[in-house]
Structure 1
Amino acid sequence: MTTTPPSPASREQADRLVTEHLGLVQHVVNQVAARYPRHVDRQELWNAGAYGLVDASRRFDESQGIPFPRYAMIRIRGAIIDSTRSRDWVTRAARRGMREIRDATDALIAEHGRAPSEGEIAERLDIEVDRLREMRSSAAHATLLHLDQRVGAVDTDEMTLADLVEEEDEAVLPGDALENRELTGTLRLAVRHLPQAQREVVTRYYFGGEYLRDIADSLGVTEARASQIRSEGLTAIRAYFARAFDGVPAVDDDAPGRRNRLAFLAGIDGGSTWRDRLDEADRPLVAATA
């Protein structure tokens, strides 16, 4: 990231802004840390965030009418995301295992028209069920599953799905407020229309900040299974955003799980006027309903 060297006067102001707002870095780190595996060094996240704060102090223009704390939090979060995006936290073995499981699962869904059991997937891969669970667990612990899919832009930073679940007091530029609120409502509508298990896991993990292992324990499933449920929910949400914002066709005729995906999309479309999306942004999400 290239910045213009500040003048002595502006350097003094930038230093003051950094000193007075250093606590924002830890605040943002605490918010985003749950999106990363536990082995990711929080100090590295803090270091990246501190760089973002310094960058914000040098770029800040109070004539834009946005308070420095709000502007700085955008830069801090963006710096953290940029620093982790360039890394591959997944081992080759874990990535290969993820791909094999996904391919086997997709093939079985296409053959039987339903989600396969662990036994069926293991049989297709010619491995024991315990080995399948080990592969899933390795992938779950190694993979960054934060919602960093771009869905819009704020200032010069990308807006991601994960950013949309933050508090409204972090909204950035006044001119973007309505668009951001609609995006927030769109995401919440998508989550609300997920099947119950997916909705509960996604809501508790991304909106509630709970650990995946705790969610799995309360649901009476393995952590690997909870990770699979979460991934299924994210896949559905990303497909909806791809259609809504990028014009990607809804569901291919030969896509696995086509019937369920169409039902999910139809449910969102049935209650997704512009006003619905704005109203949804203000409604609290609940993990699941009976």
Structure 2
Amino acid sequence: MDERKSGQLNHLDLWIRWKEHDDIEAKKKLIENHLSIVDYVSSRLAVGLPKNVSKDDLASNGVMGLIDAIEKFDYKRGLQFETYASWRVRGAILDGLRQGDWVPRSVREKAKKIEEAYQKLEQENMRGASDKEMSEFLGVSEKEFHQMLQDVSVMSLVSLEDPIREEESETRISVLVDEKAKNPDHKVNEFYLKEALAKGIEKLTDKERIVVSLLYYEDLSLSEIAEVMSLSPSRISQLHSKAILRLRGALDKQKGLLMQDH
């Protein structure tokens, strides 16, 4: 028997021992075997975060997400644990960042101002707003506008993970990438949100679309995307911020319409 197949069998044996017999040692072994997921996810999320956010803090929150994944995972369904755990770990890290209130109020206000400007200009002009139009609307130079985008880039990392409504667990990113987790109660809302998101994506520039695609569909980090596109990491960060703020505006507008209907 080859080593890989033997490893898979041992892996299954650990799941059986943990899930069927509450074997704590098997659970500990599963955690140890998958700590690399925490390191992988936390390292990627660390790119572009402020220096006051330590990687150790990200990792400790990630470990809590991994433990949660191991406790909730149903090995009998034949799903890939690594994929499931990655989302749980990512979610736990982002929750930790939110609870830590690591984004200053001034940055939140700046992001809201840019988001609202995109929403207003794109609604008026029925097309994507240029950097020049945005800077004129905000009363700043294009250089200052680019700096504003850089300042809010730390927020854009978690902005698509925010709940669509405060009382719901469904997030913007789940609408964007999760095709399997269908909730029948939200199908109508989901249809309109996806339609709004598709229209928002249409208004993105080619470069912004590529960044969103590589980040959320191909799972590349911002530094890897910079290498692929032959641009500086700060430029990629700006493109990402612009894309996310445009998409947030599109989804927030649709969210407002949905809430009016209820």
Report the TM range for the smaller structure's normalisation: 0.5 to 0.7
- Map of 2:64 onto structure 1: 51
Q: Deviations over 1:244-263 (max 9, x none)?
A: xx94579xxxxxxxxxxxxx
State which of 218, 236, 240 in structure 1 corresponds to 2:250. Answer: 236
- Map of 2:9 onto structure 1: none
Q: Distance in 2 between matches of 1:177 and 1:115?
A: 31
* Structure 1 residue 148 displacement after superposition: 0.9
- Map of 2:198 onto structure 1: 190
Q: Deviations over 1:103-158 (max 9, x none)?
A: 55555556666655545544444444433332222122454345214479xxxx95
Are positions 1:144 and 2:157 aligned together?
yes
Q: Distance in 1 between matches of 2:94 and 2:128?
A: 33
Contact 2:117–2:138 (CA under 8 A) maintained in structure 1:
yes
Over 3 Å counting, the alpha-carbon distance change for 1:85 and 1:200 in structure 2 is: same
Give the letter aligned to residue 194 of structure 1.
Answer: E
- Map of 1:203 onto structure 2: 213
* Structure 1 residue 203 displacement after superposition: 0.9
Contact 2:156–2:245 (CA under 8 A) maintained in structure 1:
no
Structure 1: tracts of 5 or more residues without a match: 1-7, 251-290
Q: Distance in 2 between matches of 1:158 and 1:21?
A: 26
Q: Distance in 2 between matches of 1:14 and 1:237?
A: 40
Contact 1:201–1:230 (CA under 8 A) maintained in structure 2:
no
Are positions 1:76 and 2:86 aligned together?
no
- Map of 1:217 onto structure 2: 231
Are positions 1:23 and 2:23 aligned together?
no
Q: Distance in 2 between matches of 1:229 and 1:54?
A: 33
Contact 1:190–1:237 (CA under 8 A) maintained in structure 2:
no
| DSSP-derived class of the 2:103 partner | coil
Structure 2: tracts of 5 or more residues without a match: 1-20
Greater CA deviation, 33-42 or 130-139?
33-42
* Structure 1 residue 48 displacement after superposition: 1.1
Q: Deviations over 1:15-37 (max 9, x none)?
A: 2332333333234435x627863
Over 3 Å counting, the alpha-carbon distance change for 1:138 and 1:187 in structure 2 is: same
Q: Distance in 1 between matches of 2:50 and 2:156?
A: 11
* Structure 1 residue 61 displacement after superposition: 7.7
Relative to its length, the structure with more helix (as a share) is: 2
- Map of 1:33 onto structure 2: 45
* Structure 1 residue 83 displacement after superposition: 1.5
Contact 1:35–1:146 (CA under 8 A) maintained in structure 2:
no
TM-score (norm 1): 0.52
| DSSP-derived class of the 2:202 partner | coil
* Structure 1 residue 228 displacement after superposition: 1.5
Q: Deviations over 1:180-201 (max 9, x none)?
A: 9x98xx9699389624524323
Contact 2:39–2:59 (CA under 8 A) maintained in structure 1:
yes
RMSD over aligned Cα atoms: 4.9
- Map of 2:182 onto structure 1: 179
- Percent identity, please: 23
* Structure 1 residue 204 displacement after superposition: 2.5
Size of the alignment, in residue pairs?
Answer: 222
Q: Distance in 1 between matches of 2:79 and 2:258?
A: 35
Contact 2:108–2:155 (CA under 8 A) maintained in structure 1:
no
| DSSP-derived class of the 1:17 partner | helix
Give the letter aligned to residue 190 of structure 1.
Answer: A
Q: Distance in 1 between matches of 2:115 and 2:175?
A: 28
Contact 1:91–1:142 (CA under 8 A) maintained in structure 2:
no
| Structural mapping, 1:34-183, within 5 Å | 37=49, 39=51, 40-57=53-70, 59=71, 65=77, 69=81, 72-73=85-86, 75-106=88-119, 108=121, 117-141=130-154, 143-150=156-163, 158=169, 160-162=171-173, 177=180, 179=182
Q: Distance in 1 between matches of 2:240 and 2:134?
A: 17
- Map of 1:227 onto structure 2: 241
Q: Distance in 2 between matches of 1:94 and 1:140?
A: 9
- Map of 1:3 onto structure 2: none
* Structure 1 residue 85 displacement after superposition: 2.8
| Structural mapping, 1:242-261, within 5 Å | 242=255, 247=258
Q: Distance in 1 between matches of 2:126 and 2:198?
A: 23
* Structure 1 residue 225 displacement after superposition: 5.2
